[in-house]
Structure 1
Amino acid sequence: MTFLLQASAIIDAIANPGLLLAAFAGGAFGAAIGALPAFCFTGFMVIAGEAANLAVSAVGSAEAVSAANLGAPGITGSIAFGTVFGPHISFAGGAAAAAYAAKKGYMDEFGFDYHEAKNIPAALGTQPDVLVVGGLFGILGYIITAISGTVGLPWDPIAIAVVLSAVAHRLVFGYDLIGTVRGGGLFDMGPFERGEMRSSGGAAATDGGEVKERLAVEPWLGHQYEWGNVAMIGLVAGLLGGVIALTTGSAFLGFGISAASLTFLNLGVAKIPVTHHITLPASTAALAVTGGAAEVGAAAMVVAGVFGVSGALTGEVVQRIFYAHADTHFDPPAAAIVVNTLVIALLAIAGVFSTSVWVPTLGL
């Protein structure tokens, strides 16, 4: 009976025609403006939503907003994490559209240094087939998130949808899941550091008869891949995520600031770090250890720093396995958020944390 009730709830969650159409539009719009620009808007909307929540809270009538509840009131739940700019829809749809466009040979004009399918900063414009692909993957992201959130699986339901959507677009469009490993193995960034090249392959392998080349190994961020550097930015951003959460009571404001900061990366500012997979686990863990209380204490800040480093290093592990040797974008931050929110949920289930804050825990 429990299974039947759960199945019915899942069907109700994913069978809303209006939301399916909205998810199609969100994914298509993410393709049109580009996956990374769409995610920057996610950050702006989170900042706006959390600022509004804090303003309402100040007069005593706020409701908590949960990222696991797509029907939550307010800008954060309905816009930033909903069908407009939810990363599972707009970002994932844009990344899938880039993979499709590269396969079709539409991406040659951009002159991207890596494989064209990894060019998530690029706006793909108004070509109908590209937008349809973005829209269909927007629907896929919506369905995955709705199922995960309805069942209460113990991780960020949005982040897992971004991960699974990337797996799906590689399989659907004929890309390798991991790619051909060069150098000394999966974790070896030496070929990148030495500037070793290979033929780009695929439909865009030649340009006027000249063989096009790309780096033999393509790190997700050429300025953020060395282990010590990654750990340091993890510590710094984790502590900042912790103090933001403990000062405001918001688990998402630090994430929003991190996401919005990627506007500068999209505009070509060198060495902008990517930190949303650091600030979100750090903020959430800091609130988890205090029971949700907005109180800056040493123990909570230490926990935030630990989860910040963990988020950063997990992202680096993922990029070396699933991004550096492959041809399309596989989002290391989303995978890192899945892993670290799973840890938070398990610690809450085990009673180490008094709450998992917004992370589902299978109802336990």
Structure 2
Amino acid sequence: MAVSDLWALELLLAAFAGGVFGAAVGALPAFTVTGVLVVVGELYDLGRETLATGAPELALTGSVAFGPVFGPHVSFGGGAAAVAYAAKKGYIDTDFDYHEAKNVTQGLGTRVDVLVVGGAFGVAGHLLKTASALVMPWDPVAFGVVASALLHRAVFGYSLVGTSSGFLDMTPFERGEKRVFADGGTERPAVEPWLPYQYKWAGVSLLGLAFGALGAYLTYMTASVFLGFGVSVLLLVYVNSDVAQMPVTHHMTLPAGFAVVAAAGGGVATPAALAAALPLWQALVLGAGAGLFGALAGEVSQRVLYAHADTHLDPPAASIVVTTLAVSLLGMAGVLGDPNVLPDPSWLT
């Protein structure tokens, strides 16, 4: 599909439907569908790949999992905007510990105005992703998620980052301090970590090293930069099912896959080409480093953009923007082999 076709009316209508889908089922459940589609899509495409034809076409992953319906910039972004709107209108009253606008596991049913908001922000996410892909060498889908969240905060009158005397300081949460927020007088924790069990630097760092190596291994063996990401996103099914202390790691596995393919020279990547370009131990070390960077970028993002604010701005998406930009810049500087390892706009239809 040509880049110009990404602005087509039918894709905007598809994005509206995707935003409604995210609003109806909830932002996080919608994103788990993305994970299923990525894993199925990568395995399907890898099944069609031969050494003669080169890299897989990534049709299911690009056009469906990251496309204008199920892409997280559409369905997750639409769902996050819809729950922020519903909370502002007073439609939601659960036992959620934080502001209800952060409750992205919450399906929102069939209220028409809420679904329309989801659809509108699905369109906004599609447009933001499409525009950013034309000008910046980062993951445009992740950028669409982040930009959509900032937009819904601005549109619905929420603070863009919240207020705090120390954005990186999590100790008020550990001390159990409360604060009266300007949301109707509701008392909430003074600081609200994105994942109360996944915010301490040492544990986050170890997760990044381990899941970065895992993502690198999957990429090395399959030449798929997205398979590790898909596996990580599938784990969110358990997060949405309230399984205790389930780690969130897709911002660790994805940059690891990109880094391995970039270091191998990019181009038409196959398992044989990757093995010829670098040994497995180098791929694992590189992936662990990229995973660590992604984990730390995610932690900084949650402390600055989530913990003191009222709505959900996705820390992994913010991290992926940073890490994929770093991979591209390192490629341009000659540190990694290929500055063009990220998908181009025509791929992310």
TM-score, length-normalised on structure 2? Answer: 0.92
Partner of 2:82: 97
SS at match of 2:73: helix
Q: Name the aligned partner's letter for residue 274 of structure 2.
A: A
Q: Name the aligned partner's letter for residue 302 of structure 1.
A: V
Partner of 2:334: 351
Partner of 1:40: 32
Q: Is the 8 A contact 1:155 1:360 kept in 2?
A: no
Q: Which of 139, 142, 153 pairs up with 1:170?
A: 153
Displacement of 1:357 after TM fit?
5.7
Partner of 2:318: 335
Q: Is the 8 A contact 1:14 1:147 kept in 2?
A: no
Superimposed CA distance per residue, residues 153-174 of structure 1 (whole angstroms, 9 cap, x where no aligned partner): 2100101111111110110000
Q: Which runs of 4+ in 1 moved over 4 A?
A: 58-63
Partner of 2:143: 160
Partner of 1:294: 274
Displacement of 1:84 after TM fit?
2.0
Matched, 1:144 2:125: no
RMSD: 1.8
Superimposed CA distance per residue, residues 6-63 of structure 1 (whole angstroms, 9 cap, x where no aligned partner): xxx87x3453111100000001100100000011110000000001011111585575
Partner of 1:214: 188
**Distance across 1 between alignment mates of 2:122 and 2:23:** 10
SS at match of 1:214: strand
**Distance across 2 between alignment mates of 1:146 and 1:35:** 20
Relative to structure 1, the CA distance from residue 51 to residue 120 in structure 2 (aligned partners, 3 Å threshold; closer, same or farther) is same
Displacement of 1:75 after TM fit?
1.3
Relative to structure 1, the CA distance from residue 356 to residue 250 in structure 2 (aligned partners, 3 Å threshold; closer, same or farther) is farther
Q: Name the aligned partner's letter for residue 324 of structure 1.
A: A
**Distance across 2 between alignment mates of 1:358 and 1:345:** 7
Partner of 1:242: 216
Q: Is the 8 A contact 1:49 1:75 kept in 2?
A: yes
Percent pairwise identity? 53
Where does structure 2 lack aligned partners over 5 or more consecutive residues?
Answer: none
Where does structure 1 lack aligned partners over 5 or more consecutive residues?
Answer: 1-8, 66-72, 206-211
Matched, 1:84 2:107: no
Partner of 2:113: 129
**Distance across 2 between alignment mates of 1:124 and 1:294:** 45
Q: Name the aligned partner's letter for residue 118 of structure 1.
A: K
TM-score, length-normalised on structure 1? Answer: 0.88
